[in-house]
Amino acid sequence: MESKVQKMKKSTDVAEENDGVTAEKIKFPLYVFPETMKTVDILYKSDNCSSRTEFMEKAIRFYCGHLLNKDSVAAEYAAPQITAITEGIVKGTEQRLSRALFKVAVELGAVSHMLAAINDIDDETMVKLRAMCTDEVRKINGVINFEKAVRYQRSE
């Protein structure tokens, strides 16, 4: 009669883990409720897993990381997760800001060209205006108020 260890050894499978290290997988019976298996079937592809086994392996590692959250192993487990989430958030924000800044730059370019076309400003005045605007934007932290600019221009 074969022992359980011998059966496990006979039913091992060679697999490649995430870091490229080849390791043996152990095959064992798993009993789950039908609802649990339906959930796995629905979700494993959306988690970019190629099989239910890969999904369950990730779920087990996640839960083990959760249980070890007071251990130093948790930092090793959580750091890549937090990094990936943060990178995704930053990248999405960066893309939205880039699109918004592009639109603002286009509008500012159009306004600048219109003003240049209808006004005859000498070079010295233009240099002074740029210096004044640079100082003003520094003081107001970039929050420009049109009404204040109109009042300032009317006061001179």
Domain boundaries along the sequence of the chain = 4-71, 72-119, 121-156
Is the pLDDT at 9 greater than 50? The verdict is no
Which pLDDT value is given to residue 146?
A: 82
Summarize pLDDT for 102-130 with one digit per residue, the tens: 998 899 888 888 888 888 888 898 899 88
Q: What is the pLDDT of residue 153?
A: 82
Instruction: Return the pLDDT at 19.
Output: 52
DSSP of 21-64: -EEEE--------HHHHHHHHHHTTTTT-SSHHHHHHHHHHHHH
The pLDDT tens digits of the residues spanning 19-67 come to: 555 678 888 899 999 999 999 999 999 988 999 999 999 999 888 877 7
